[in-house]
Amino acid sequence: MDLAWQELMAITELQEFEVPNENPFEAIPYLSMEPMVSQGGFGMSQPQPESIPATCDAHPAAVYENAYPEMMPPYQRLNPHMDMHYSLPVPGGHGSSRMLANTQALHPPLMSLLEHMNMKTRSHGIAKDGVINLHCTGQIKQACTDDLESDSGLSLGSSPPLASPENAVHGVPSYLPADGMMGYAESESIGEQYRMRPSLLGSVDYQQSYSSYPGTSFPTTANMQPINQQTYQPIASLKQPVLPTALHDLQLNSSGLTRLGAYQSMYPKPSSVPVPLNRDQRRARTLKIPFSLDKIVNLPVDDFNELLTQFTLNDAQLALVRDIRRRGKNKVAAQNCRKRKLENIVHLENELGQLRAQREHLTRERLEFQQNLAIIKCRLSDLYTQVFSQLHDEEGHPYSVEEYSLQQTNDGNIYLVPRNTALEGE
DNA sequence: GAGACTTGTCATGTA
DNA sequence: ATTACATGACAAGTC
């Protein structure tokens, strides 16, 4: 009996199944984990899963070698919520965490296998990044496409890469010089259309407003200098009288635009092809709006209102300016909204792929766990039967496995007790 | 010419 | 009340 007992205890993995306050030799809690094995006890007549080796005498180590040909990472590292997959109903109130802990302790190779799975997951993340990169490439392609019919005078290329107040107003210089230029080619002075306030006479805004219209010749005021005498003359390709405005932005820059952005917005890229005016540009040109669409759209509200106060605009002009501002901001918002939508789609697709891979791993892991559990139960049943075959009462009658179980006390002694009886202090 | 796609705009809701 | 922003829906243009 001692020999049989030692053999029984030699299955070290069984100790991992021990549950406090439970009969260590009661396998009923684990039977519930195994739908393939009946709960009728450990009789040799238990049905065996097809995948279980023919003999129950196989060494546990050999069992594990066969059952875990590869490593599997801990799923919990991938998704802490996935322990729900282990939450099989367990009589006796054993939580899923307990079972998972047992599982990990029961199958040491499983840890390495789970690590392997974890690495695969990291690799998947790299692939995810690759997808995003492809997506961004597409965005760049889109961003390079000018929309010549944009009512608000903006385009994807001039839009900030992300929706942020900083980008929208301050940071990113426009790729489209047309944003800052109305494209006006009229030779007549539109400045005469406005009644400049005395305090603003000769102001830089006044100059700037005209500088926004390439091709416009300005009425020369006392403090205005010919454009070819300005500080930024070195830009050879510049033929339009926009330098005073650029100088103003570089010196003052109180409009919310960065110096670089304002500077570049005032220096259109040379283009041999004339850019057709969009609807708002044409309207602004018709109504002779004295400042650029870029400012109308991108200035902060305070600066925008201040800009409006510097000119006396009629109702039609004010309405147009506010419409341009509204449409321009909404255009950027729509672009950002669509970009976020696409990014969300890519993100969800990646998550879906990860979840599918995790589900596949879990299914495989669960199957392997069930197979090994059945093997262990079979082995335990063998040893249990072997132990009981050597136990006899005073009259020489064998004890029944169905009626008695083995329990170990704290002092290490093993007792044969009826199944419906629990030893005190255990 | 039909359909998919892109982009701008409007209407509406929210902060 | 105003403003900015987000987003669905629609229209127009493009491929």
Residues A155 and A302 in one domain: yes
Is A407 inside any structural domain? Answer: yes
Q: Six-digit token pair at A162?
A: 């992300």
Residues A179 and A283 in one domain: yes
Residues A108 and A160 in one domain: no
Residue A300 confidence (pLDDT): 86
Residues A70 and A149 in one domain: no
The whole-number Å distance from A140's CA to B12's C1' is 31
Residues A202 and A56 in one domain: no
Residues A85 and A153 in one domain: no
Residues A292 and A382 in one domain: no
Residue A6 confidence (pLDDT): 62
Is A325 inside any structural domain? Answer: no
Is A302 inside any structural domain? Answer: yes
The structural domain count of chain A equals 2
Residues A89 and A183 in one domain: no
Which domain range does residue A286 map to?
145-313
What are the tens digits of pLDDT across the range A216-259? 333 333 333 333 333 223 323 323 332 233 323 323 233 333 32
Residues lying close to strand C (Cβ under 7 A), chosen from 333-362 of chain A, are 333-334, 336-337, 340-341
Residues A89 and A14 in one domain: yes
Which single residue has its CA nearest the C1' atom of nucleotide B6? A142
Is A83 inside any structural domain? Answer: yes
The whole-number Å distance from A294's CA to B10's C1' is 21
Establish whether the CB of A304 is closer than 7 Å to any nucleic acid atom in strand C. Answer: yes
Per residue of chain A (426 residues), what is the pLDDT tens digit? 555 556 555 554 444 444 444 343 333 333 333 333 333 334 333 444 444 444 454 444 444 434 333 333 333 333 333 333 333 333 333 333 333 333 333 333 333 433 443 444 344 333 333 333 333 333 333 333 333 444 444 443 333 333 333 333 333 333 333 333 343 333 333 333 343 333 332 333 333 333 333 333 333 333 333 333 332 233 233 233 322 333 233 232 333 333 233 333 333 344 445 556 777 788 888 888 888 888 888 888 888 888 888 888 888 888 889 889 999 898 889 988 888 888 888 888 888 899 999 999 999 999 999 999 999 999 988 888 888 888 888 888 888 888 888 888 888 888 888 887 755 554
Residues A109 and A152 in one domain: no
- Burial class of residue A323 (count of CB atoms within 10 Å of its CB; 0-12, 13-18, 19+): middle
Residues A26 and A155 in one domain: no
Which nucleotide is nearest, taking the CA of residue A154 and each C1'? Answer: B8
Residue A360 confidence (pLDDT): 96
Residue A423 confidence (pLDDT): 53
Residues lying close to strand B (Cβ under 7 A), chosen from 154-193 of chain A, are 154-156
Establish whether the CB of A329 is closer than 7 Å to any nucleic acid atom in strand C. Answer: yes
Residue A299 confidence (pLDDT): 86
Is A104 inside any structural domain? Answer: yes
Establish whether the CB of A281 is closer than 7 Å to any nucleic acid atom in strand B. Answer: no
Residues A106 and A181 in one domain: no
The whole-number Å distance from A344's CA to C7's C1' is 14
Residue A372 confidence (pLDDT): 96
Is A274 inside any structural domain? Answer: yes
**Which chain C positions come under 7 Å from a protein C-beta?**
3-9, 13
What are the tens digits of pLDDT across the range A259-290? 233 333 333 344 445 556 777 788 888 888 88
Residue A301 confidence (pLDDT): 84
Establish whether the CB of A282 is closer than 7 Å to any nucleic acid atom in strand C. Answer: no
Torsional sign, CA A236, A238, A239, A243:
negative
Identity (one letter) of the amino acid at A187? S
Is A272 inside any structural domain? Answer: yes
Is A156 inside any structural domain? Answer: yes
Residue A165 confidence (pLDDT): 35
